[in-house]
Structure 1
Amino acid sequence: MPLFCRYYAQKYPEIDDVVMVTVRSIAEMGAYVHLLEYNNIEGMILLSELSRRRIRSMNKLIRVGKTEPVVVIRVDKEKGYIDLSKRRVSKEDVERCTEKFAKAKAVNSIIRHVGELLSYTTEEQVEELYLRTAWHFEEKYKKQACAYDVFKQAVIDPKILEECQLDEETREVLLTQIQRKLQSQAVKIRADIEVSCFEYEGIDAVKSALLAGIKMSTTEIPIRINLIAPPLYVMTTQTTEKQDGLRALEGAIEGVTTVIKEFGGTLTIKMAPKIVTDVEEADLARQLEKAEEENREVAGDDDEEEEEEGMGELAIDSEEEVGEGKKEEVVVEGKKEEAGEGKKEEATKEEAAKEEATKEEATKEEE
């Protein structure tokens, strides 16, 4: 039987806390949800707290099974009632809550798995392990979900766990799970920019600016710039340190901007530096492949033009040959005409000879 435990030391959230919930059912008064970080205790989003606008379709606003951040507006710890609001959550709240939830969930997974490996049978045992480890660090640093960062540091420096007052076996199992699940993984970061220059330097100015951005890469954070289609370029890097990678691309964009402006050109950020998913990475790969195919097609068009020019020369040669053939036919016809004239001359001579013979006979008769 799997063991469960809330993510934080307090059993209930405080007013104005942004929490992650999963919608379980929708009723006339609102939507019933489970608070994932607080061991799935029930809460309710009132109908009036779903949206700032007029509700035309409930399904477009909220769906059963959907997970999303909401803000706590009322808490009755005695009765266990928790009222929540979706319309009061800002974009910044969503980002912070999503990041905090992901970290707390990772820590919860580690603690529960350690409990399973140590054959814990009750949730009280899991809670005790939480008190000695994750909640100990959250109390120490006065920040929820900070245990994730401490555990991640323990991958490099295991001595951090010595203050947790754990027996040798528990500490070894915990450290093994931390190293297995929180080993730093490289993230891919991307930014899309448009770089153009219509001054005399033109393409040379663009090249110089892009090279300035590439020169800002380091061994730990290598920066690459690829052409999608002029003037759109994609700038990418891959690193285990998310924030350092984002700052590196921002710095590279500033470097490109400085150089291109010196030449009278412009740079427009189409997409600010962000961590990309595997789906977005695959889409980028398709775009780059398509760009390469288009470049190959352009080169192929040049070859075809050369071939067409060659065929034109052949066509001209063929016309000349045809012309020569006609001349030959004309010559042949001329010979035929000459032959006909010769026959006419022969016929005239025969007639003249007959006339002379007739005259001679007539003369003899007269004599």
Structure 2
Amino acid sequence: MPLFCRYYAQKYPEVDDVVMVTVRSIAEMGAYVHLLEYNNIEGMILLSELSRRRIRSMNKLIRVGKTEPVVVIRVDKEKGYIDLSKRRVSKEDVERCTEKFAKAKAVSSIIRHVGELLGYTQEEQVEQLYQQTAWHFEEKYKKQACAYDVFKQAVVDHSILDECKLDEETRSVMVTQIQRKLQSQGVKIRADIEVSCFEYEGIDAVKSALKSGIEESTVDIPIRINLIAPPLYVMTTSTTEKQDGLKALERAIEKVTSEITGFGGTLMVKMAPKIVTDIEEADLARQLEKAEEENREVAGDDDDEEEEVGMGDLDVESDGEAKNDEAKDEEVEDKKEEE
């Protein structure tokens, strides 16, 4: 049976804390949720705290099973009541909470797995390991989830864990798990753009513009551009440095914008560069597979189809071939007229 423990030293969140919750059920008064960082203790989002606007459909605002950040507005530690608000959460709150939760969850995964390998049978044992490691650093640096950054340093400098006062076996297992979980973890970044040009150059202008974006690639940050469905393209990269990856895609978008506007075309950012989750990545893979099948149906079995070098998986050959076919037809018509 899996052993669980809250992510932070304090048993309850404080008022104004932004926490991650999963919706358990919806009632007349509001939604009952589980606070994921606090060992799934129960809280409630009152109906009046769901939205700033008039509520027309509850299902559009909140769903059972959905995970999202909310802010704590009241805590009764004696009775265990926690009131929460969704409408008071800002965009910045969402970003900070999501990042903190991801770090705390990674630390929790490491500690629980260490406990499993050491044969822990009680949650008190996991809590003790937390007190010696994650909560120790939380107290030291006065910051929740800071253990993630400490563990990242421990990948190359094991001596950082000396102050945790772990026995030799526990320390050895802890170091091994930290290295396996945190060593060179890459993030995947994505942006969605619409690129079009209705001038004479048409598809050639789009190809040229997209190539200029790909030229922003480096060895550490390779950029790929894939066609979803004209004029929608997805730009992706994978890197261990989140900020560098985001900036690289931003530069690539600027380059494509500059190039396509020079041809009289346009670029519209449908989704700014962001880190994608495994679920979003799987969804993208399905979209690309579907697009590839549709392109094959359009292209048929033409053996003369050429590959566009340096365009990643971008498939824009169908339009090019159609253009060539039109040119051939015009040439035949001209010859007939001359005869």
Gaps in structure 1 of 5+ consecutive residues: 310-367
Counterpart-to-counterpart distance in 2, 1:187 and 1:159: 27
TM superposition shift of 1:170: 0.9
* TM-score, structure 2 normalization: 0.76
Q: Highest Rg: 1 or 2? A: 1
Partner of 1:249: 249
- CA deviations on 1:29-75 (whole Å, 9 max, x unpaired) are 33333322112223222232233344445455444444332210011
**Other structure's SS at 2:250 match:** helix
CA contact (8 A) 1:228 1:291 kept: no
CA contact (8 A) 2:229 2:291 kept: no
Partner of 1:315: none
**Other structure's SS at 1:277 match:** helix
TM superposition shift of 1:240: 3.4
Structure 1 position 287 matched with structure 2 position 291: yes
Higher helix share: 1
- CA deviations on 1:301-344 (whole Å, 9 max, x unpaired) are 959x98xx9xxxxxxxxxxxxxxxxxxxxxxxxxxxxxxxxxxx
Alignment of 1:30-45 (within 5 A): 30-45=30-45
* TM-score, structure 1 normalization: 0.71
Alpha carbons of 1:9 and 1:208: their partners in 2 closer, same or farther (altered >3 Å)? same
Which amino acid counterpart does residue 68 of structure 1 have in structure 2?
E
- CA deviations on 1:54-103 (whole Å, 9 max, x unpaired) are 44454554444443322100112233322112222234433332332232
CA contact (8 A) 2:227 2:288 kept: no
Gaps in structure 2 of 5+ consecutive residues: 303-317, 333-339
Which amino acid counterpart does residue 141 of structure 1 have in structure 2?
Y
Alpha carbons of 1:189 and 1:62: their partners in 2 closer, same or farther (altered >3 Å)? closer
CA contact (8 A) 2:228 2:287 kept: no
CA contact (8 A) 1:45 1:86 kept: yes
Counterpart-to-counterpart distance in 2, 1:125 and 1:143: 23
Partner of 2:222: 222
Partner of 1:108: 108
Which amino acid counterpart does residue 38 of structure 1 have in structure 2?
Y
TM superposition shift of 1:15: 0.8
CA contact (8 A) 1:198 1:265 kept: yes
Q: Which has the higher contact order (CA 8 A, sep 6+)?
A: 2
Alignment of 1:1-367 (within 5 A): 1-196=1-196, 206-227=206-227, 231-262=231-262, 264-274=264-274, 275=276, 276-296=280-300, 302=325
- CA deviations on 1:262-303 (whole Å, 9 max, x unpaired) are 555433223322324211122123224423542447659959
Alpha carbons of 1:279 and 1:157: their partners in 2 closer, same or farther (altered >3 Å)? farther
Alpha carbons of 1:140 and 1:57: their partners in 2 closer, same or farther (altered >3 Å)? same
RMSD, matched Cα = 3.3
**Other structure's SS at 1:225 match:** strand
CA contact (8 A) 1:22 1:68 kept: yes
CA contact (8 A) 2:227 2:291 kept: no
Which amino acid counterpart does residue 42 of structure 1 have in structure 2?
E
TM superposition shift of 1:9: 1.2
Which amino acid counterpart does residue 67 of structure 1 have in structure 2?
T
Alpha carbons of 1:149 and 1:290: their partners in 2 closer, same or farther (altered >3 Å)? farther
